[in-house]
Amino acid sequence: MLARVKILWTIVQFSFTVSIVIILMYIFRKNSRPIRRSWAAMQMKLLGIELEIVGKVDEEANMIMMNHQSLLDIIVMEYLHTKDIAWVAKEEIAKIPWFGHILKAPKMIIIQRESKSSLVKLLKESKEKYEQNRPIAIFPEGTRTDGKKLRKFKVGAKLIAEKFDFKVQPVVLVGTREIMDSQNMKQSSGKVKVIFLPSVEAKKKTTWYEDTHKLMGETLQANLK
């Protein structure tokens, strides 16, 4: 019961604070990143999140690949990363009335799933973000999971990384779904473990993508309670 009350309260405060963030990002366009990071820091306190961090952010990485379980994944990475992350996000989110501007205002990469034309757009915008020194953050599984097992990676992240010879940092998040489960409408305070794995060079005609999937999957399994 308490877990459901908590997530209802979070939905209310998200609606209010995200609206403020959207307005501020449009007013202070050049300060989008510090605005988002300040919001993420506030959410970490309000949600009662304790972090356990293994490894560190690679400031030179052009892409961040993460497993995806919860909205909390995004909040944690926005809080921890120092650069202006460019998230790859579904068009369905951008189309949400008013709140879709949380992607439009900071100019995130918005794509249609399973669309060939969207893949061209993804490559074009990825190049633009790279030239702007914005690391691209992507969930290669393509959707949220229950957090118990890593799904097969979609091809998008591989194509982008190899096209532009990106340096890719894999990141494994553990425990975010247990704290914020929007699908089952439950929330609690707790610890999130963030494991920054060594970066890899995305070279064509190598098995870097498959090797990274294997490493991330094994790391997730080893760190599950």
Q: What is the pTM of this model?
A: 0.94
User: Using one digit for the tens of pLDDT, what is the confidence trace for 48-104?
Assistant: 999 999 999 999 999 999 999 999 999 999 999 999 999 999 999 999 999 999 999
Q: Look-up: residue for tokens 């399973």?
A: 114
Q: Confirm if 120 and 168 have CB atoms less than 8 A apart.
A: no
**207 CB burial (10 A radius; 0-12, 13-18, 19+):** exposed
The sign of the dihedral angle between the CA atoms of 175, 181, 183, 184 is: positive
Q: Which residues fall within 8 angstroms of residue 80, CB to CB, at 6 or more apart?
A: 51, 53, 57, 194
Domains and CATH numbers, the chain: 2-223 (3.40.1130)
Is pLDDT of 209 > 90?
yes
